[in-house]
Amino acid sequence: MISPEVLEAQPRPAESRGKNEARRLRASGRVPAVVYGAKKDAVAVSVDPKHISKILRSASGHNTIFDLQVGAEKTKAMIVDWQYEPIKGKLLHIDMKRIAMDEKIRVKIPIHLVGEAAGVKTQGGIMDQVLREVPLSRRSLEKRFMQTTGYPVYEYIYNQRIEKFTQKLLETDLTIFEIALDLGLTDSKNIARQFKQIKGLTPVEYRKKYMVAKQPV
């Protein structure tokens, strides 16, 4: 899945690499990372671990394609490997791969079991999940998604985001900025622009109009 978020990475000079420098970097609130792929040289960078964690916790997880800004260069990228500190669970290092949007890639789709098998529930059986991931190319995934939902992946995500935003707009007293953060979005102005394109009103205008309509006479 493609995320509208932009991950900003800071290049690391050669003298800043090594275990001691990596510790100092983590102590400052950032995590060492490397970017490679797309027939370009690997680049050592540092990233905000909070942004990385948000991507890994998203619905598409490490298969998320996002914009990576390194200095003046912006490219599409994916997280391909990451390391956690075993005791405290903090991110230690990230590997990111540049994605050429005109080339095929294969991703691993996680399989999540839903519900409880009858044999486990009524007969005391044990569920053994043998397969946990299914490899798919991006184009195959998009084709199957279209066949299942009737929408392209990006349009479906776009519509779902607007509907969730609308629901929280009418059911909570959260500000536009707070709703955007609650949905995992950092650019509240961008979601507000998208909202107006779909609904014909700004979020504030929409809330005023329909909150009044919902109040009892």
pLDDT digits (tens), the chain, 217 positions: 555 678 899 998 766 667 778 888 888 999 999 999 888 889 999 999 999 988 888 877 787 888 999 988 889 998 989 998 888 788 899 999 998 877 776 667 777 777 777 788 888 888 888 777 777 676 777 788 888 888 887 788 778 888 889 999 998 889 988 888 887 777 788 888 888 888 899 999 999 888 755 555 4
Q: Where are the beta strands (DSSP E) in 61-110?
A: 65-70, 73-84, 91-98, 106-110
Question: Residues 197-210, buried b or exposed e (16+ Cβ, 10 A)?
Answer: eebeeebeebbeee
Return the pLDDT at 188.
80
Return the pLDDT at 9.
92
Return the pLDDT at 94.
93
pTM above 0.85, yes or no: no
Those residues with Cβ within 8 angstroms of residue 169's Cβ, 6 or more apart along the chain or in another chain: 179, 203, 206, 207
Q: Are 122 and 103 in contact (CB under 8 A)?
A: no
Return the pLDDT at 35.
93
Structure token digits, residue 65: 């394609």
Return the pLDDT at 16.
61
Return the pLDDT at 34.
93
SS3 (DSSP) at 187: coil
Domains and their CATH numbers in the chain: 2-102 (2.40.240.10), 104-150 (no CATH), 151-214 (1.10.10.60)
Return the pLDDT at 210.
83
Return the pLDDT at 1.
52
Return the pLDDT at 202.
92
Q: How far apart are CA 30 and CA 13, in angstroms?
A: 15
